[in-house]
Structure 1
Amino acid sequence: MSSNHNGVLLSILCLCAISCTEVFGYSSVISVRNGGPWGEWEYRENCPKGWIAYGYALKVDDSQGSGDDTGLNGIQLFCKASADSTETHRIESGMGQWGTWTSPKWCKNSFLKAFILKVQQPQGYGDDTAATDIKFICSDDTIAKKGRVMARWGDQSSACEKGISGIQTKVEPPQGSGDDSALNDVRFFCR
């Protein structure tokens, strides 16, 4: 009898894995393969229902010279109901404690649909920074970008054809007297 219940439960879980994202209004997740190895996935935050991201800001730690660099510490997305809407809603996931926020950068008459992450590979005994920058590709195929120069760009993510509407970051907590890397990876949720 319990094996029948286990089979039904397994069938429900498989169906949910295939279609639950549609039930909750998100059709897919976009990510990249070059994210940093440290930290844990933080909380996920979504745009209000029906809204998508048209802009973003970055929390960036400037170069510390001979000190401990952390690079990219946080990402905020600015959601709107439409391109011409003046009302915005800011969303973010976990972030590092260092750095300052850049001014918002916007797609012009289009929305955020894909991204490329710049990540420094592990340095062994050197100063690890992990993620150092991000480029967003707008729906009109232009690039909305802020800039840092450390590390190497990875491959572009797949695209959210109807727009990015959620964010989740992977962040290493402060290491005390150890080497800090802060934001290591990010994934976005499609509308």
Structure 2
Amino acid sequence: MHQFTSIMFSLLVITGLQVSVQTGEKRSEGNLDRPYKSELTVTNGGGWGFWGEVDMCPDGTYAAGFSLKVEAPVGQADDTALNGIRLYCVGSGNLTDSYPSYCKVQSDVASWGQWTDITWCPSALLTAFQLSVEPPQGNADDTAANNIMFRCSNGVSQLGNGTDWGDWGDWGDWSDTCEGTGICGLRTLVELPQGNGDDTALNDVIMYCCD
């Protein structure tokens, strides 16, 4: 059912066009070229779609909050659940419970759903994550990634406002942890719209750690 994606990607490559699932939103306020020291991944991400660009917090800042683009359940129609992830970057020298000034960064985002309110780590940085993913459903409706949970540098865990389908992987299946600092960027795996097919939107994500 995902043959349409492969055909569309081939056509875009042939014609020299850039593959993008953006919907006209300002994609980045960050630094696309910031170097990173390690990648954070999980084992249960979905496999459909194409990887977007890496997007990084500005130099000297790290993610202390996040928000999700989520399509609410649509009943008998095609559900997509999690469509996008944003990180909110701040300086690490003055951490609080919320911030009047921050920079937002995101990789590729699908077109369905609405952005949730920002969830902040209380006086801490994001350092690790888990992803809730629905496995392939055969002839039923696939949604792939549904929600995300972050661990903060003070040990607190913050659950996103995604949907309830899917599994968090094996018990305790967290990514590795950013040691000494925090998450500083991300890259998302997003499936292009399938037309009359089964849309899944966001499937997987990589987070990055910086010095």
> What interval of TM-score do these two structures reach, taking the shorter chain for normalisation?
0.7 to 0.9
Name the counterpart of 1:150: 165
Q: Deviations over 1:101-154 (max 9, x none)?
A: 000000001100000000000001010000000001101111111243111112
Is 1:159 equivalent to 2:177 in the alignment?
yes
Q: Distance in 2 between matches of 1:157 and 1:37?
A: 17
Structure-2 separation of matches of 1:132 and 1:169:
13
Q: Which residue of 2 aligns with 1:122?
A: 136
Which sections of structure 1, spanning at least 5 residues, go unmatched? 1-23
Question: Counterpart of 1:170 in structure 2: which amino acid?
Answer: L
1:51 matched residue in structure 2: 61
Deviation at residue 52 of structure 1 after TM alignment: 0.2
In 1: Cα distance, 2:80 partner to 2:120 partner? 25
- Secondary structure in 1 matching 2:147: strand
State the match for 1:175 in structure 2: 194
User: Structure 1 residue 78: deviation in Å?
Assistant: 0.2
2: distance between equivalents of 1:126 and 1:102?
27
Which residue is 1:184 aligned to?
A: 203
CA distance in 1, matches of 2:194, 2:188: 18
**CA distance in 2: counterparts of 1:67 and 1:25, whole angstroms:** 42
1:21-77, CA deviations, whole angstroms, 9 ceiling, x for partnerless residues? xxx531100010111010010011000001100000000011011100001000000
Q: Residue 166 of structure 2 aligns to which amino acid in structure 1?
A: A
Amino acid at match of 1:102: T
* Superposition pairs of residues 15-94 of structure 1, within 5 angstroms: 25-82=35-92, 83-84=95-96, 86-94=100-108
Greater strand proportion: 1
The AA in structure 2 aligned to 1:144 is Q
Runs of 4+ that moved beyond 6 A: none
Letter in 2 for 1:185: D
Equivalent position amino acid for 1:43 in 2: E
Structure-2 residue corresponding to 1:100: 114
Shift in Å at residue 97 of structure 1?
A: 0.5
Structure 2 unaligned regions, length at least 5: 1-33
For the residues of structure 2 that align with 1:86 and 1:26, how far apart are their CA atoms? 26
**Which protein shows a greater Rg?**
1
Secondary structure in structure 1 of the residue aligned to 2:52? strand
RMSD between aligned residues: 1.4
Higher helix fraction: Structure 1 or Structure 2? 1
Q: Which amino acid aligns with 1:173?
A: L
Give, in angstroms, the shift of residue 86 of structure 1.
4.0
Query: Residue type of the partner of 1:50?
Result: G
Tell me the matched-pair count. Answer: 169
